[in-house]
Every structure is written in structure tokens, then in C-alpha cells.
Amino acid sequence: MLRRYYKFFGGFLIFIILLIIFRASILTAYAGWFSISNAEKGADAIICLSGGQQTRVPETIRLWSEGFAERPFLTEEKSTNGKFAHLEVSNLKFAREVAKVMKLAVPWIILPSQDGGATSTFDEASDALVYAKEKEWNRIIIVTDYFHTRRALLAFEKVFEGSGTLVQVAGVGNDVFDDYNWWKSDRGIMTYFSETIKFPIYLIWSAEPAMVNNY
């Protein structure tokens, strides 16, 4: 028993030492797993998901200007405080201002919400599905941050299953953290901690869990 204990302790100690030595490579690979980017030119629409306006909007404009899709869309996000919603900069207004800075006449379209604004990626996917069926889209591209691409694509693929519309995703980075240094900033740590929790939930459910009430 004592010999087994020493073997176990020794193996665990070696594991910890290797983990410390190769922590940068391990953490980089971990972050990289959350990223997918498979967008191709010629889609029917590009959909910029809500959240991360400063990163997602410019990337959507770039993809549109390079011919990845005919029209760029913005999802409609539910306000967190309706009383002061009029003071917020809407997705559409922000996107138009970014287009002005980039000196491009971007034909933005708001993707209609089915429930007063989306509160999750599943909601955005459901809104997109209704519009995709109406317009008979064959392929769409969703744009979001790199760390959110795998989960976002998973949600859209589940919602769009059997619809005949192919979903692709384009990821974009930010100026604060990336795959190679995310563990060195509070924002990076919180981001990947959040994705670590949320991805299994999206993997299990095929829609927003009934236990989660987003009002």
C-alpha cells in the first residue's frame, strides 16, 4: 500500500511539473479548441451576432465588402433595462457609424426578433431560421468573436437542422487577449471560464433550456 501511495504521489507530482512547464502550450491549445472559422464567399447573408459590437461589426463589414454575402444583417438584442433603452446606442446606429468611419455604404438590415429581442445565441438562431425560410436562403455566415464561434455554430446548426440552409461561421479577435495570452488578463480568464460552462449546456440542449427564463 505504501509503495502504491508513493507511485501515485510521484506520478501526480510529475504531472503537476509538466503542467507548469508546458502551461502556455496547454492553455493556448485549450483556447484554440473554442475557435472555428469556415466562412466562404457567396453566401446569401452575413449575420452579425449581438454583443461585441466593436469587433463583430467591422468584421461583418469587411466580409460583406469582400463578397462573402449579398446583405449584412444585425440581430435584435433585448434591452437589459427597458426604462433607459432609448439612451443606448442600438446595434443599427453603431453599425452605421462604423460604416461611415470605414467609408462604405453598407445596406444594413435588422433581423426581426420573434420575441422582443434575443437574449441568447439560441434566440438569434431561431430568429434567423424564420427569416431564412422566408427568403429561401441556401447558406448563411454568422459573425462573432473567436472564443464564441464553436458554441455559436453549435447552436445555429441545432436550430437549422433539417432546414436545408447551411450555416458557416467567421470569427474575429480583439485587442485585449487572444489564444496565446488569455490567461494573463481578467477579461480573458472570465471569457474562457464562461465558455467552459456554457458549451456543455449548448451541447446537451437543442434550444434555450426551459429552466432558464429570459424575460
Query: CATH number of 34-204: 3.20.20.70, 3.40.50.620, 1.10.10.60, 1.20.1090.10?
Result: 3.40.50.620
**Per-residue CA distances from 176 to 10, 52, 81, 171, 193 (Å):** 39, 12, 27, 15, 16
Give me the pLDDT at residue 90, please.
81
Give me the pLDDT at residue 2, please.
62
Q: Is 111 helix (H, G, I), strand (E, B) or coil?
A: strand
Mean pLDDT of the 43-48 span: 97
Give me the pLDDT at residue 215, please.
36
Domain spans in the chain, listed from the N-terminal domain onward: 34-204
Rounded-to-integer distance, Cα 27 and Cα 14, Å: 18
Cα-Cα-Cα-Cα torsion 188, 47, 40, 148, nearest 10 degrees, comes to 20
Closest CA to 149 of 191, 109, 186: 191
Q: Is 94 helix (H, G, I), strand (E, B) or coil?
A: helix
- Helix and strand tally (H, E) in the chain? 7, 5
Mean pLDDT of the 63-72 span: 95
Mean pLDDT of the 21-43 span: 92
**Mean pLDDT score of the chain, rounded to an integer?**
87
